[in-house]
Amino acid sequence: MIFVTGGAGFIGSNFVLDWLAQSDEAVLNYDKLTYAGNLQNLASLQGDARHVFVRGDICDQAQVLALFRQHQPRAVVHFAAESHVDRSIHGPGEFIQTNINGTFSLLEAARAYWSELADGEKAAFRFLHVSTDEVYGTLGPDDAPFSETTPYAPNSPYSASKAASDHLVRSYHHTYGFPTLTTNCSNNYGPYHFPEKLIPLIIANAQAGKPLPIYGDGQQVRDWLFVSDHCTAIRRVLAEGRLGETYNVGGWNEKANLDVVHTLCDMLDTLKPKAGGGSYRDQITYVKDRPGHDRRYAIDARKLERELGWKPAETFETGIRKTVQWYLDNPQWVADVQSGAYANWVETNYNNREQ
């Protein structure tokens, strides 16, 4: 069995689904079920004995340790995190609590469990920490992409909290010999993505006839990674990664935010034309930029390719088409996650922002 934290969130649920589609090894899925955790993502696993779900908080060290001792996992894959930059600007406290204190509590519980294992099981145990490229800060237009040796320079409360968690994980390997692995990924997209992030927000707003908000001039550049490619990379690092190492995971798809929105609008124009005619591009609205908005992220994923033979299977064009089609095919999922709490958040972040 493997122990997955945050396995009801966007990337975590995709990972659990992919894992159980390709392996009979069971998953203990531990998730707090905050606004972004959604058991509907895992509905296809209902009744599957290989999937054990426990609702809980990674800050609850005693509960986590009890679960380790009960289920005897051979590995931890740690997704659980607060992950939205805008939310971290409005309320950084939850990010500090979950991303820093929670990771510390999880490390302590995992280290206590690991120390009790027999030598063979101890040697085989792995703790894989899933992080972000945002810890590296921002790039100029002509700067080389982030590598694993790029100095950390986080610019938001979110990225700072993830940077702190990365440092904690690194320290546990170097201080205690604890068998850690860290991955730093670029922007993920794909099915089950909560519609506060750019791609699912644009798809949902376009169909609802709402404005498509673009921060600033829309020229912020991100490297886009299809979520199933990310899951494949994590499995590869978990199986073959060198202990104590960091591996950057990217899609080799640098796109400006405005170009991404144009692509989505054009795709929706083809797949689901507007009833009254015209283009979804007509709904684009420019709003005041996010404070401290990083201008460009780019990932150099050559270490992962060189050492472990991983490459993304999807181009941006193939991945984004699959993503748009999934949202068009699953309107009920979108409607269900757009709760009152989500609507209130959208109003706080977007409707009150200067245009």
Whether the predicted pLDDT of 348 surpasses 90: no
Number of domains comprising the chain: 1
**Confidence class for position 354, pLDDT limits 50, 70, 90:** low
User: Are residues 161 and 82 in contact, defined by beta-carbon separation less than 8 angstroms?
Assistant: yes
User: Are residues 11 and 187 in contact, defined by beta-carbon separation less than 8 angstroms?
Assistant: no
Tell me, yes or no, whether 46 lies in a domain.
yes
Tell me, yes or no, whether 60 lies in a domain.
yes
Tell me, yes or no, whether 325 lies in a domain.
no
Tell me, yes or no, whether 111 lies in a domain.
yes
User: Are residues 323 and 189 in contact, defined by beta-carbon separation less than 8 angstroms?
Assistant: yes
Tell me, yes or no, whether 333 lies in a domain.
no
pLDDT value, residue 87: 87
**φ and ψ of 284, to 5 deg:** -65, 130
Per-residue exposure over 204-216, b if at least 16 CB sit within 10 Å of its own CB, e if not: bbbbeebbbbbbe
**Confidence class for position 352, pLDDT limits 50, 70, 90:** low
DSSP code for 242: P
- Amino acid letter, residue 15: F
Say which CATH number the domain at 302 has. Answer: 3.40.50.720
Over the stretch 86-122, which tens digit does the pLDDT of each residue have?
888 999 999 999 999 999 999 999 999 999 999 999 9
Structural domain for 127, as ranges = 2-189+225-252+293-313
Alpha-carbon distances of 63 from 55, 156, 163, rounded to whole Å: 10, 31, 25
Over the stretch 124-164, which tens digit does the pLDDT of each residue have?
999 999 999 999 999 999 999 999 999 999 999 999 999 99
Catalytic residues: 133-134, 158
Tell me, yes or no, whether 80 lies in a domain.
yes
What is the signed CA dihedral for 100, 346, 286, 224, rounded to 10 degrees? 50
